[in-house]
Structure 1
Amino acid sequence: MISQYLGFDSDYIIIGLSAVVLILLILIIVNIAQMRKLKKAYKVFMSGKNGKNLEDTLIKRLDQVDTLLEANNENEKTIKSLFEAMQLTYQKMGLIKYDAFNEMGGKLSFSLAMLDVRNNGFIINAMHTREGCYTYIKEIVDGNSIIVLSDEEQKALDRAMGKTENNE
């Protein structure tokens, strides 16, 4: 009756509804299989365990978390102390090689600036001559020297403080 008004054949409606029922049955079977797997996993998890054993397991895991937190705090303290110690180490370096006297070649003389993070440190100047090698050291405080610096020493200091390129 309704199929005559709509222009459908009732056979097509029955086939469509049968397909929907078949799909729903397949989904129910898949759902039942998944529920069985879940129940099996739950039984394995709970087998031989009562509330006390489960509580013991949770307490053990919480103790492990506490141990990890303590170790993390120790690591943070160690990192902080290492960072503080690093502030006192020489972290910046500038090296200039040069010929101290025109008659000698090979750039055997050098000025070496070593500075910490606050630009405190020293400059070593080694002058190589035919008679020998002479070394001098000058103290650097806040990027400055009390003693007048030679051109090479100033270049080494500038290089250590990052004021010039390291292409020389």
Structure 2
Amino acid sequence: MKNIIGIINGFQVYIIAALAVLVIILFIMLMVTLKSLSKLENKYRRFMRGVDNKNLEELIVGYLDKVDEAKAEAEYMKKLYENLNLKLKECIQKVSIIRYRAFEDVGSDLSFSIALLDDSNSGVIVTGIYGRNESTTYAKPIDRGISRYDLSQEEQHVLQECINKVLS
């Protein structure tokens, strides 16, 4: 036993220095832990703000209900958008117009042809022929880019121009 006490006395300075280093390391670890605990406490306080006397489970269920309502509303909007998109395909989307002189003895380009087509290239061509003594306006239906009536050169031109328009 005296040998062990003698060895300890011989290394007493080293043992005290080692213990001092160990205490410093433990103190640093304690400071880091306290800082982490402080951050965690701040996060907890932020998380629990506005809760007052409410049950946390009720609060989370309330938020989940709101999320479900938002999902249902988004689905409704998606269906509404799809219906609107289908209706839009049937609306006039492409328009083309050409003015021309139908008769040589009439000045200016007062005659015209207008093509009004939807997404499937169905619609109408409206033509107005201006003459010195009379003017005539008529329409020809277009079904998928084809007219069952004969088209004049100007009407064919305005129809092709309208069909070739690219929608963005």
Q: Using the alignment, how far apart are the partners of 2:136 and 2:124 within structure 1? A: 16
Q: Using the alignment, how far apart are the partners of 1:95 and 1:55 within structure 2? A: 66
> Residue 111 of structure 2 aligns with which residue?
109
The equivalent position to 1:140 in structure 2, one of 142, 149, 155, is 142
The equivalent position to 1:53 in structure 2, one of 37, 52, 55, is 55
> Residue 120 of structure 1 aligns with which residue?
122
Distance apart, 1:92 and its partner CA:
1.4
> Residue 98 of structure 2 aligns with which residue?
96
* Structure-1-length-normalised TM-score: 0.72
Q: Using the alignment, how far apart are the partners of 2:45 and 2:138 within structure 1? A: 81
Aligned length: 142
Deviation string, structure 1 residues 123-155 (Cα, Å, up to 9, x no partner): 100011222321011111121111111110000
Distance apart, 1:42 and its partner CA:
1.5
Q: Which amino acid in structure 1 is aligned with residue 132 of structure 2?
A: R
Report the secondary structure of 2:81's partner residue: helix
Deviates more, 1:37-46 or 1:97-106: 37-46
Deviation string, structure 1 residues 96-142 (Cα, Å, up to 9, x no partner): 11111123333111100111111111110001122232101111112
Name the CA shift for 1:45/1:113 in 2 (closer, same or farther; >3 Å).
closer
Q: Using the alignment, how far apart are the partners of 2:44 and 2:160 within structure 1? A: 70
Q: Quick check: 1:94–1:158 contact (8 Å CA) kept in 2?
A: no
Deviates more, 1:29-38 or 1:78-87: 29-38
Q: Which amino acid in structure 1 is aligned with residue 122 of structure 2?
A: N
Gaps of 5+ in 1: 1-17, 164-168
Report the secondary structure of 1:100's partner residue: coil
Name the CA shift for 1:129/1:47 in 2 (closer, same or farther; >3 Å).
closer
> Residue 75 of structure 1 aligns with which residue?
77
* Structure-2-length-normalised TM-score: 0.72
Q: Which amino acid in structure 2 is aligned with residue 33 of structure 1?
A: K
Give the structure with higher Rg (CA): 2
Same amino acid, percent of matched pairs: 34
The equivalent position to 2:163 in structure 1, one of 146, 161, 164, is 161
Report the secondary structure of 2:40's partner residue: helix
Name the CA shift for 1:127/1:28 in 2 (closer, same or farther; >3 Å).
farther
Q: Using the alignment, how far apart are the partners of 1:100 and 1:85 within structure 2? A: 37
> Residue 154 of structure 2 aligns with which residue?
152
